[in-house]
Chains A and B, each alone.
Chain A
Amino acid sequence: MKKIIYLLILLDVICINVTKAQLSFTQIKSEYSGIDFKNIINESDSLNEFTFYYMLNGGGVAIGDINNDGLSDIYFISNMQSNKLYLNLGNLKFKDITDSAKVNGGDGFKTGVTMVDINADGFLDIYVCKSAYAGSKFRKNVLYINNGNNTFTEKASEFGLDDASYSTQSFFYDMDLDGDLDMFLLNHPIDMKSANNIPLSYDKDGNLFAKQDTLRTFVSNRYYENINGHFTDKTFSAGLGTYAFGLSSIIDDFNGDGFPDIYICNDVKEPDYLFINNKNKTFTNKASDYFKHFSYSSMGSDYADINNDGALDLVALDMLPESLGRLKELIGPPKYDNFYTKVKYGLGYQYVKNVLQLNNGNNTYSDISYLSGIASTEWSWTPLLADFDNDGLKDLYITNGYLRDITNMDFMMYEGDSIRKEVMKARKTDEALKILSVIPSYKMQNYFYKNNGNLTFSNITKDCGMTVPSWSNGAVYADLDNDGDLDIIVNNLMEEPFLYRNNTSENKSGNFIRFKLIGPKENPFGIGVSIRLDTPDGKKQVQHFMPDKGYLSCNEWFVHFGIGGNQSANAVITWPNGYTENVMGIGANNYYPADIKNATSTLNNDTLKTTPLFIDITKQTNVSYISKENTYIDFKQEPLLPHEFSKMGPTIAVADINNDGLDDFYVGGSKDHEGTIFIQDLLGQFKIKNEQELIADKEFEDLGSEFFDADNDGDKDLIVVSGGNEYPDDSIKYPVRLYMNDGNGNFKKNSSFPNIYTSAKAIAIDDYDKDGDQDVFIGGRVVPGRYGLMPNSYLMKNNKGYFSEVANISLKNIGMVTGAIWCDVDGDSWKDLVLVGEWMPLTIFKNKNGVLDSLPTITSNSYGWWNTIQQADLDGDGDMDLIAGNISFNTKYKANEQFPLTMIVSDFDNNGSTDCIISAYQDGISYPIAMRDVLLDQIPTLKKKFLRYKDYSSATINTIFSSEQLKKATTLKMNDIANTVFTNDGYGNFTQQYLPVKSQIFPINAVITEDVNKDGIVDLLVAGNDYSTEVETGRKDGGIGLYLSGIGKNKFKATPVTESGFYVPGDVKCMKKIVIKNKSCVIVGKNSDAIQILQLNN
């Protein structure tokens, strides 16, 4: 019974529901379509992947109706041969008119292409970018002006656009809102040696910083302002000079101020840029204000609203393989120092993975790529976010493939050298081509993801008929056969392009509305228009029209909306000049011509100012405390750790410690920093109170703290547990300390408290034996330096102020406890001990008349990486339900009952260090997740077994170790990763319910239960993140706090931050309620960050 509910919820939240997906595509071959072009690369000794590293990046494709006959025509880039223009004859038949139209692209190495009506004559012109060749005349971009009769004339220099940079792609957009289209040109340097070097310099204060390479001709991105039809280079006055390997760009209004901004995906070391438009023809890169991290080798990108909340979301692609085996062969080990060297010198947090940056609506984004399931799609180029099945949700198509697996680790470490020596020995000269020829080469399938409508996507590549493997680069969507669905065109390397006919209209599975824009004279095709579409089912969709996106390519010149079963829709069309047109009742399956002539100047009407529920009052309280960490790096001691244990603070405890009726608080200090007491005054401001006894204990890292009356004298005493991982060999650095209050808020350490040493975090206090004084449970968190072993936990019975340990063998080594509460789960009036932890299930020691059971009751499908637990009667049925924070779905390795994550623990090589190896399932088999070099770093003797990366890529625990070794090992498991509500049936039996999907974006470290909106139903405030993960998976930084309002039956509604004001970003570790100036507030502790205080505003 429990299991069924569990599965149903699972389906609801991470739906892989293929039955609904009727979406299918049919590949139309050249025999029918007439598109028989191939983008063939011929490498030579002088031009090859060594001499030009972007040799195999492929070409773009552009869509546009060049003869205004109502049919979209196609222009393909051929990197090294003639480009091709195919005239659409209808019915998916095409005619090659390249020669007669005179648009073959000319000499040189062609890359990106866009169409634009540059001379505003109503006919689309073609602009082609070039790169590679040393001679600048071979790199001059070309502009084909449409003569209106299916012929073109090259006029780049006439328009000032014969730029000879090493160009990737061009973007035409009205950047300064003066009505005409300006151009942003994306370029790249040619010195690949600089791609990963960090040139250091001292600044005037004597600090080292990474010096930006000097800006260079032909290398920096370019910005051309359109001045009366002529393009003038304004790159440097606009502040857009750069030295980065740009691969794609998105021009859109990222901060909602009406002015277009520029997002740039940069390859290799430079992080992506977001140049915010300063509204005065200058731009400033503010990417790190908006985004917490980036993909490392950012390639193609798209920007569209995936969850129909009106805020556009960003997808940027990288090169992470989906299969664990290929990952181990292709991706090198995570390099901690390399990573943090880049962070230190301003290159930001960059990870080898796709990102899906969910727009939080407040100019911040959270990467949900792991949650959404789109993080790893091989070496990827184009993302296309569009509604392919006309259900009102944007799906995601991704092209990928690279001719050679040049990151193959065996090639890099071994075979590359062998072949090089062979070539040298034979004294051959064609070294480069020979070396390149030994690199493994595989074609991969592109990916098609259907949007499930809940922030997740399902991979339906196979079901929709897109399984042909390829090396695919630029790709676009366009309704080529005018049947109301979006077809897909892909420029492949070495082979014919893909032309995929969308069968949605044939299957009559969804309605559509398409907008054709008729703009003002200088922007006749309406680039930059925003359309909001409201359908009767209550769905609101927003699209911004910018055909030039994805990778090197230009999409169709319509705005396409799928509207599912709706028969009509209302639209608001907003032009770049702010004019709007409201259209009511556009019928389904229609084209609507949106003409600027019908748009009128409007006042901003829908910006009703709502007062958010929470406001940040940190400044007003005078609390300017920042928790500081020492620089201990756990991975240096234990390379196989999934995350660090030395960065888990701070802890905060709240109480009125000086009996003046005002809440005060304690914040724990990290190693070498003392814990600090803050006293509230009548103005609601706080002052630090120095405590000698706390200062004396500053060598300990405080991870747990509580105020309670230990000696029944009417004041609050302070218990603090020491934690962390900094002293791997010195257990006495982890004492539990009890500080006694003298009644006036002065503390003195209680020397009679027993000497307990354990690296701990959780504390639970209650009079569990009902003898009139408060007892204490202390949960051990980790064995320092020996992850995987079980730390000691302690149940301390209070006997009139004197504490003694209660013996309970199974409780003592119960696991890596993170959260503990006393809670009467079975209604017998005795408080039971409820525990959660890392690799632990929900664990309850039932209290029988003041004595805890010797064995715990566990919920078997709840083995999680829990962070915290809270209790409340959420459903109002009189018993206590539980809310527990877990690692969340936004994480790399998923786990469930059938396919748990496991960790095997032993000293396999008998060298005295504890080895812990985590394995995850893939295709029904469990493989270790560690990269070869990391595992060999921990267990060097295994190197003999895995001389090559390939040998290791398919190894399982059973092939790595002998059965004898495995017998001595212990295994831990995790089968639940969700942030969860445990609903109590009143007898202590619990069923699990996932919290809403928006609360699965981040690990919940802190939960507050409170009826925030005073509707009689308990609401939740949750927050968390984890910045201490290993550098391959990357920081969990998507959390910005979340207000979940209870709507009954243990269901919750996630309230957007724009409404709640509950904005709690950062590495949140704890939250506590506190009353300040008689108002309910929340105090938030974050690792290596400032304390934040929010006030509930009602």
Chain B
Amino acid sequence: MKSIYTMFCLVIASIFNVSGSTTPENYLIRCNEKLIDVVMEDLFTPPVASRVHVYPNIAAYEVLCIGNPSLISLTGAIKHLPKLNLEKTEINYSIAAEFAFTTVAKKVVFSEYMITDFEKEEADNWKNKNIDSSMLIKSIEFGKAAGKQIIEWMIKDNYIQIKTMERYVLSDAIGAWKPTAPEYTNGIEPHWNLMRSLVTDSSAQIKPIPNVPFSENKNSLYYKNAMDVYKRSKTLDTTKKMIAQFWDCNPNISYSEGHLTYFVHKISPGGHWLKITGQACKNLGFDELKTVQTYSLVAIGLYESLISCWSEKYRSQAMRPETYINSLIDSKWLPYIQTPPFPEYTSGHSVLSSTSATILTELIPQPYTFTDSSEMYINIPPRTFESLKSAAQEASISRFYGGIHYMPSLNNGAVQGQLIGKLVLQKTYNRK
């Protein structure tokens, strides 16, 4: 089964080869696509996935900085990121960047073998491009050394500590989040606010406006918001259903029939935006430096979004529409898509889509219309968008159609994401 993914990537790789061009930036796309597959295989939750994606891209970025002085190192933008302790030397920096990426990737994923297999294929690819083997080896070694330095910095990000901190304890407070059907899984990653941030000062730097106060009163805004979700669920047309499905990037979804349950592996919401990023780099023929920059900034944006969003989720511990509607409106109601296992406010999709669109819009020449075929792997047809912003808006509203978020979560989450996107740009791309 695993070979499907490998085959899929081989197909992509061969298409590039057939084109005859040696566009070196394609390896970055292949790397990121591979990593998206591994994340899907390993069932990482959205916050952890954002961590998996960001460090390998930073590693590739920093290696390319050494070879190409026009690319400004991220060390200034990320205060605690040390400069790579490596001398500029006669190597192929593309190869080094790729293996810096895979070295870090192997450290952060579980299914290491998938990356190891990928490295072998890639080494062969480079060989086929008339890179002589001593140069290849030298470049790979350089990349590995860089990767190791990035790993040393990475592991101080508090991840291993927060993973074994107190698991989420259900709150008895009125209106507090409750686990939802069918698995009633406990809230995931309640301490993500303690993760080391990259460009923000802390997880509290960008906060959304406070959530609507919980109320069971039928005249309350909260009740009205829930009724909106409920009513919308009763009038979902085919397009809205398609939108809900298209953006239902929930890596934890279970398909349950009594004793028979199995988990459907899907790309994470961040992975979806990295696919959009890859499509853009490819469509627009970005060179290697532009590609690594685009990926890295989007990945940093995703990472920051998830920290900010998750901090708010466990700060406000808001109840999902499913719980509210079941208890006050209709005890049999289930949302169109499965409710993921963490508090409601704000919508992760809204925050990170808005962050990503903000960053991409700055990096990509406008106007940019595109067709997103990220969901083809599960037979969901492509969708075409007028702009990145409209894609982000659709990703956001899809969670309302799906019945798993109230409107304020979307709107306030989008503002939150926009602020994060702007901050990332200000600290990196637009830094003076």
Closest B residue to A943 by beta carbon equals B110
Q: Tell me if A605 counts as interface (CB < 8 A to partner B).
A: no
- Of A202, A338, A941, the residue contacting B179 (CB under 8 A) is A338
Residues 585-621 of chain A, each 1 if its beta carbon lies under 8 Å from chain B, else 0: 0000000000000000000000000000000000000
Most chain B Cβ neighbours within 10 Å, of A192, A195, A200, A940: A200
Q: Tell me if B214 counts as interface (CB < 8 A to partner A).
A: no
Residues 321-342 of chain A, each 1 if its beta carbon lies under 8 Å from chain B, else 0: 0000000000000011110010
Q: Tell me if A204 counts as interface (CB < 8 A to partner B).
A: no
Contact flag A197-B181 (CB < 8 Å), given A53-B259, A211-B331, A337-B186? yes
B216 to chain A, nearest CB (A): 7
Asked whether A631 lies within 8 Å of B216 as measured between CB atoms, the reply is no
Closest 5 CB pairs of A and B: A418-B1, A416-B262, A199-B331, A192-B258, A53-B258
A-B contact sample (14 more), CB < 8 A, given A202-B327, A407-B259:
A199-B331, A200-B326, A268-B259, A335-B184, A337-B168, A341-B170, A412-B263, A413-B262, A416-B262, A420-B262, A631-B169, A631-B172, A633-B169, A911-B164
* Inter-chain contacts of B185 with A (CB < 8 A): 335, 337-338
* Inter-chain contacts of B328 with A (CB < 8 A): 202
Residues 273-307 of chain B, each 1 if its beta carbon lies under 8 Å from chain A, else 0: 00000000000000000000000000000000000
Interface residues on chain A, number (Cβ under 8 Å): 60
Asked whether A417 lies within 8 Å of B184 as measured between CB atoms, the reply is no
Q: Tell me if A639 counts as interface (CB < 8 A to partner B).
A: yes
Closest A residue to B183 by beta carbon equals A338
Q: How large is the interface on B (under 10, 10 to 19, 20 to 34, 35 or more residues)?
A: 35 or more
- Of B112, B260, B263, the residue contacting A406 (CB under 8 A) is B260
Asked whether A424 lies within 8 Å of B379 as measured between CB atoms, the reply is yes
Q: Tell me if B18 counts as interface (CB < 8 A to partner A).
A: no
Asked whether B332 lies within 8 Å of A199 as measured between CB atoms, the reply is yes
Asked whether A636 lies within 8 Å of B259 as measured between CB atoms, the reply is no
Q: Tell me if B182 counts as interface (CB < 8 A to partner A).
A: yes
- 16 of the cross-chain contacts (CB-CB < 8 Å) are A53-B258, A53-B260, A193-B334, A197-B182, A200-B327, A201-B331, A337-B185, A338-B184, A341-B178, A406-B259, A412-B261, A419-B1, A421-B4, A635-B167, A636-B169, A937-B167
Q: Tell me if A947 counts as interface (CB < 8 A to partner B).
A: yes
Residues 21-53 of chain A, each 1 if its beta carbon lies under 8 Å from chain B, else 0: 000000000000000000000000000011001
Asked whether B163 lies within 8 Å of A940 as measured between CB atoms, the reply is yes
- Of B110, B111, B166, B181, the residue contacting A636 (CB under 8 A) is B166
Closest A residue to B264 by beta carbon equals A417
B129 to chain A, nearest CB (A): 30
* Inter-chain contacts of B377 with A (CB < 8 A): 421
CA distance A636 to B186 in the complex (A): 11
A728 to chain B, nearest CB (A): 8
Asked whether A208 lies within 8 Å of B327 as measured between CB atoms, the reply is yes
Closest A residue to B160 by beta carbon equals A911
Q: Tell me if A637 counts as interface (CB < 8 A to partner B).
A: yes
Contact flag A337-B4 (CB < 8 Å), given A201-B326, A201-B327? no
- Of A193, A407, A941, the residue contacting B182 (CB under 8 A) is A193
* Inter-chain contacts of B331 with A (CB < 8 A): 199-201, 211
- Of A49, A50, A421, A631, the residue contacting B378 (CB under 8 A) is A421
* Inter-chain contacts of B172 with A (CB < 8 A): 631
Asked whether A415 lies within 8 Å of B1 as measured between CB atoms, the reply is yes
Within 8 A of A (CB), among B42-71: 42-43
CA distance A524 to B375 in the complex (A): 68
Closest A residue to B107 by beta carbon equals A944
- Of B255, B257, B264, B265, the residue contacting A53 (CB under 8 A) is B257
A265 to chain B, nearest CB (A): 15
Asked whether B262 lies within 8 Å of A199 as measured between CB atoms, the reply is no
CA distance A192 to B257 in the complex (A): 6
A971 to chain B, nearest CB (A): 22
Q: Tell me if B22 counts as interface (CB < 8 A to partner A).
A: no
CA distance A463 to B265 in the complex (A): 47
Q: Tell me if B120 counts as interface (CB < 8 A to partner A).
A: no
* Inter-chain contacts of A413 with B (CB < 8 A): 43, 262-263
CA distance A267 to B379 in the complex (A): 35
* Inter-chain contacts of B169 with A (CB < 8 A): 631, 633, 636
Within 8 A of A (CB), among B78-112: 110-112
Closest A residue to B113 by beta carbon equals A947
Q: Tell me if B355 counts as interface (CB < 8 A to partner A).
A: no
Asked whether B182 lies within 8 Å of A418 as measured between CB atoms, the reply is no
B404 to chain A, nearest CB (A): 16
Residues 404-429 of chain A, each 1 if its beta carbon lies under 8 Å from chain B, else 0: 00110001111111111110110100
* Inter-chain contacts of B186 with A (CB < 8 A): 335-338
CA distance A911 to B261 in the complex (A): 34
CA distance A637 to B167 in the complex (A): 6
Asked whether B161 lies within 8 Å of A912 as measured between CB atoms, the reply is yes
- Of B1, B166, B168, the residue contacting A422 (CB under 8 A) is B1
Q: Tell me if A980 counts as interface (CB < 8 A to partner B).
A: no
* Inter-chain contacts of B179 with A (CB < 8 A): 337-338, 341
Closest B residue to A912 by beta carbon equals B161
CA distance A502 to B178 in the complex (A): 55
Most chain A Cβ neighbours within 10 Å, of B183, B259, B328, B334: B259
A185 to chain B, nearest CB (A): 21
A430 to chain B, nearest CB (A): 15
Q: Tell me if B256 counts as interface (CB < 8 A to partner A).
A: yes
* Inter-chain contacts of A425 with B (CB < 8 A): 4
Q: Tell me if B2 counts as interface (CB < 8 A to partner A).
A: yes
Q: Tell me if B233 counts as interface (CB < 8 A to partner A).
A: no
- Of A335, A420, A637, A944, the residue contacting B112 (CB under 8 A) is A944
Residues 214-251 of chain B, each 1 if its beta carbon lies under 8 Å from chain A, else 0: 00100000000000000000000000000000000000
* Inter-chain contacts of B2 with A (CB < 8 A): 418
Contact flag A196-B263 (CB < 8 Å), given A425-B4, A911-B160, A938-B164? no
* Inter-chain contacts of A909 with B (CB < 8 A): 160
Asked whether B4 lies within 8 Å of A418 as measured between CB atoms, the reply is yes
CA distance A635 to B186 in the complex (A): 13
CA distance A394 to B328 in the complex (A): 52
A528 to chain B, nearest CB (A): 34
* Inter-chain contacts of A336 with B (CB < 8 A): 186
Q: Tell me if A746 counts as interface (CB < 8 A to partner B).
A: no
Q: Tell me if B409 counts as interface (CB < 8 A to partner A).
A: no
* Inter-chain contacts of B216 with A (CB < 8 A): 202, 206
- Of B178, B256, B260, B334, the residue contacting A49 (CB under 8 A) is B260
* Inter-chain contacts of B327 with A (CB < 8 A): 200-202, 208
Within 8 A of A (CB), among B296-350: 323, 326-328, 331-332, 334
* Inter-chain contacts of A81 with B (CB < 8 A): none
Q: Tell me if A198 counts as interface (CB < 8 A to partner B).
A: yes
Q: Tell me if A297 counts as interface (CB < 8 A to partner B).
A: yes
A989 to chain B, nearest CB (A): 45
Asked whether B263 lies within 8 Å of A940 as measured between CB atoms, the reply is no
CA distance A267 to B377 in the complex (A): 36
* Inter-chain contacts of A419 with B (CB < 8 A): 1
Contact flag A196-B256 (CB < 8 Å), given A208-B327, A341-B184? yes
* Inter-chain contacts of B323 with A (CB < 8 A): 200
Q: Tell me if A913 counts as interface (CB < 8 A to partner B).
A: yes
Closest B residue to A415 by beta carbon equals B1
B371 to chain A, nearest CB (A): 20
CA distance A267 to B260 in the complex (A): 13
CA distance A208 to B170 in the complex (A): 15
CA distance A297 to B258 in the complex (A): 11
Asked whether B160 lies within 8 Å of A195 as measured between CB atoms, the reply is no
Closest A residue to B40 by beta carbon equals A417
Within 8 A of B (CB), among A785-841: none
Closest A residue to B324 by beta carbon equals A200
Closest A residue to B163 by beta carbon equals A940
CA distance A649 to B327 in the complex (A): 35
CA distance A50 to B167 in the complex (A): 34
Residues 283-314 of chain A, each 1 if its beta carbon lies under 8 Å from chain B, else 0: 00000000000000100000000000000000
Closest A residue to B7 by beta carbon equals A425
Residues 903-937 of chain A, each 1 if its beta carbon lies under 8 Å from chain B, else 0: 00000010111000000000000000000000001
